[in-house]
Amino acid sequence: MASSPAKAGAHQNFYADYVIQFSYAGADPLGSSDELELLLRKLWEIGLQAEVRPGEDSNLLVFVRASRKRSLKRAVYQSRIRDWLHGVRSSEPEDESSAEPQTESERLRIINDMITLPHDVGGAGITPKHGQWKNVVAVFPLHDEVKNKEYLADWSKKTFLSEEDLDQIRDKFGESVGFYFAFLQSYFRFLLFPAAFGFSCWLLFGSFSTIYAVVNCLWGVIFIEYWKRQEEDLSCRWQTKGVSAVRHKRREFKPEREVQDQITGETRGVFPATTRLQRQLLQVPFALFSAVALGAIIATCFAIEIFISEIYTGPLKTYLVFIPTILLSALIPTMSGVLVSVATRLNDYENYETQTAYDAALTQKIFVINFITSYLPIFLTAFVYIPFASLIVPYLDVFHLTVRPFVSKEDATTIPTFTINPDRLRKQVIYFTVTAQAVGFAMETIVPFLKQRFAREYKEYKKKQTGRTNTGLEGETHDVPKNSYEDHEDEKQFLARVRKEADRDEYNVTDDLREMCIQFGYLALFSPVWPLVPVSFLINNWVELRSDFFKIVVDCKRPSPIRADTIGPWLDTLGFLSWVGSITSAALVYMFNTSADGPSGEPSAIKGWALLLTIFFAEHLYLIVRYVVQAAMAKFEPHSVRHEKTERYMIRKRYLESTLGARSSDDEEEVTPKDESIELSDITRKTLEEDARDWSRHGTNPEERFWMRQKGWRESAKVGSSIIKSQAAGTETKKQQ
């Protein structure tokens, strides 16, 4: 059946499904041994075989495989039963004896559930770095290196990935990763139009084109609505539609009280929604604090940069110009890290019941930080520096006082003439949409690869250096005691590869989705400044599509498959950025389309009422267009959705036919009732008197006698015919008269 694809590539991994990384560094040896023994016993109890091998740096590698087919089949069957009960599957699962994983990702997902889920739902309850499993560092499957190389070689020759390619990603890494690559593929395809149109507008109209701004906003609405249909199509094709209903409780969830369900009779923990809502209100001061903290840093560095680059003419200017960059590089990551830590603690305090709800809430909080750090510099340039520079810059002389002690008296009294740099906004947009994208690619893909390689070489070097230890006496050395467990010759190459994979970082698809959403924000909010933004993103995303897969298979541990039917809260983020883009695009076009370089720095050229009116009409026009596009797109049903509806209809039809067929066969087996009909000619005074005596003997009431006056269908037919004939005869008599 489908077991062969599920086990593809297993032989090169010695048929190991998962590796549990167990660290005993700095721990009590006796306590570590007890925890390891408990871990192995838990795995054995749920039907998983384990083998222990030495790792690196005080680590053990526990190799796990599902050797008992019966246990795996039972877990697969239980998972499919849950899906069927929650409406994820349209048909009832097959018998447990024939339940086999259909894909490799399904097999790995089931085994991961067996390892990590609580004991009451059939798992071993092994959760890394949580509870009693403090020494369990990670639980991860192994890469299929042969297939990964085939995919990289194949996709490097293609412009677009096919549906089969996306299915292969889903079969290997699960639906969550599959949805990300499907989104990136759709986004890349859709960028073809704005790239061509933006290039044309750049040649014909230049920057701040009204036509480009309108078309760009319309494109954003159409893309988001298209992706919603695409999500529905993929969730039906991958049989994950509605999978969000099949979620397990987080171990960190702390119920406020326990109640007994009136329907099921089960006792379950609950956390009042009102209490969670009160805790969620803390997001408001958190967002304000984030805006103030990050905004103050960015605005201060922004002012310093303007002063040094455009006002200051003293000595060391060549070196001082790097001060804002150094400050931003040091302060922004530090403050962002602090805010992310606060957001995580706040998310924990809100006490979400499922991991999906927890991740969605944390994503929203972190996006506030990303929004400020990504877009605030351009907002300051577009809506503060260029329109109001002539009013703000004189107040920046406070920085001139700080350098007075270090310069001559003549230089200190020199007042430079300030002229606004109208090209600053365009250069800043180019930096964030071209240079920053290239830097991000290098930091995301190339740097981790080089870092791992250098770290590996450094470890090898340290091993060679510590291979022999000096005793302190001249010329005397002795060997360091070797590990008590040496790798078998047949396993050396395999174990070396696994140890390398264990040193890699864990892959988080949320980071890649966040990157794409922030990129979409630059396109939606600021591309009227430079219409070649979509051209840059089109080129970047072609590389991104391949580099992200390279990052997964080379730079990161293989992710455990996670089912999904959407890209999660990032879909709402796209809608929000598109809406904000309708406002910023209208404001930019109104403020800057009067000239090629924008206003000269005099706020008198900008009428506040006209700007607000422009934003108001643009935003409401956007809402109307979005509603029209939603109504139009709703009429187009994806192929997989139609296929799923057809399957559900056929299931109901077969069930109805089988039910009716069973009833027909039962009816055929019933004994034909005795026909008690008599002819009208047999009805005499004697028979009527016998009927009257029977009725009085059995004490029948008028309602029962109503159904006893005619015996059988023949008598009813005769009575009906006599009524028809008598009525017809009466009508003829009236006509003759």
Task: Return the pLDDT at 472.
Answer: 42
Going by their DSSP bridges, the two strands 18-23 and 477-479 should be labelled as unpaired
Query: Is 143 within 8 Å of 553 (Cβ atoms)?
Result: yes
Coil, strand, or helix at residue 607? coil
- CB within 8 A of 571, min separation 6: which ones? 224, 227, 228, 231
User: What's the maximum distance between 2 C-alpha atoms anywhere in the chain?
Assistant: 151
Buried b (16+ CB within 10 A) or exposed e, 660-686: eeeeeeeeeeeeeeeeeeeeeeeeeee
Residues in the chain, pLDDT under 70: 1-11, 260-266, 312, 314, 393-422, 466-484, 594-605, 643, 649, 651-653, 655-656, 659-700, 705, 707-713, 730-737
Query: Is 378 within 8 Å of 584 (Cβ atoms)?
Result: no
Task: Return the pLDDT at 717.
Answer: 78
* Cα gap 126→136, rounded to integer Å: 8
At 125, list the tokens: 């309850």
- CB within 8 A of 340, min separation 6: which ones? 366, 369
Q: Which of 336, 344, 342 is nearest to 297 (CA)?
A: 336
At 615, list the tokens: 């934003």
Q: What angle, rounded to 10 degrees, do the helices at 608-633 and 210-237 form?
A: 30
Task: Return the pLDDT at 169.
Answer: 92
470-525 pLDDT tens trace: 444 444 444 444 555 777 888 888 888 999 898 888 999 999 999 999 999 999 99
* Cα gap 570→576, rounded to integer Å: 10
Task: Please provide residue 468's backbone torsions phi and psi, each rounded to the nearest 5 degrees.
Answer: -130, 135
Query: Is 569 within 8 Å of 364 (Cβ atoms)?
Result: yes
Q: What angle, rounded to 10 degrees, do the helices at 145-155 and 533-550 form?
A: 160
DSSP structural state of residue 321: T
Task: Return the pLDDT at 181.
Answer: 94
* Cα gap 44→60, rounded to integer Å: 18
At 149, list the tokens: 């190389």
CA distances (Å), origin 461, targets 189, 449, 487, 501:
47, 18, 20, 19
Coil, strand, or helix at residue 251? coil
| 691 Cα distance to chain centroid | 79
The answer for 598, left when phi > 0, alpha when psi is -120 to 50, beta otherwise, is left
Query: Is 186 within 8 Å of 565 (Cβ atoms)?
Result: no
Going by their DSSP bridges, the two strands 468-470 and 477-479 should be labelled as antiparallel
At 24, list the tokens: 């005993």
Query: Is 254 within 8 Å of 271 (Cβ atoms)?
Result: yes
* Cα gap 169→549, rounded to integer Å: 9
Half-sphere exposure of 165 (CA within 13 A, CB side): 20
Task: Return the pLDDT at 597.
Answer: 45
At 150, list the tokens: 């085939």
At 269, list the tokens: 């923990």
* Cα gap 161→146, rounded to integer Å: 19
Half-sphere exposure of 661 (CA within 13 A, CB side): 6
Q: Which of 597, 585, 580, 587 is nearest to 211 (CA)?
A: 585
* Cα gap 25→66, rounded to integer Å: 29
DSSP structural state of residue 352: -
* Cα gap 349→346, rounded to integer Å: 5
Buried b (16+ CB within 10 A) or exposed e, 375-408: bbbbbbbbbebbbbbeeebeebeeebeebeeebe
Task: Please provide residue 304's backbone torsions phi and psi, each rounded to the nearest 5 degrees.
Answer: -60, -40
Q: Is the dihedral of CA 611, 614, 618, 620 positive or negative?
A: positive
* Cα gap 250→348, rounded to integer Å: 11
Environment class of 176 (CB within 10 Å of its CB; exposed 0-12, middle 13-18, buried 19+): buried
State the CB neighbour count (10 A cutoff) for residue 327: 16
Task: Return the pLDDT at 471.
Answer: 42
Each domain of the chain, given as residue ranges in start order, spans 3-142, 154-469+499-634, 680-736
Task: Return the pLDDT at 226.
Answer: 94
At 137, list the tokens: 């560092």
Kindly report whether the global pTM for this prediction surpasses the value 0.85: no
State the CB neighbour count (10 A cutoff) for residue 34: 11
Q: What is the DSSP string of 492-520?
A: HHHHHHHHHHHTSBPP-HHHHHHHHHHHH
CA distances (Å), origin 710, targets 491, 672, 674, 707:
92, 19, 15, 7
CA distances (Å), origin 41, targets 14, 50, 129, 368:
22, 9, 19, 45
Coil, strand, or helix at residue 672? coil
Q: What angle do CA 75, 77, 82 make, to 5 degrees?
A: 95
E strand or H helix at 66:
none
Task: Return the pLDDT at 601.
Answer: 43
* Cα gap 619→50, rounded to integer Å: 60
Q: What is the DSSP string of 35-61?
A: HHHHHHHHHHHTT-EEEEEE-SSSEEE
Three-state secondary structure of 400-456? HHHHHHHCCHHHHHCCCCCCCCCCHHHHHHHHHHHHHHHHHHHHHHHHHHHHHHHHH
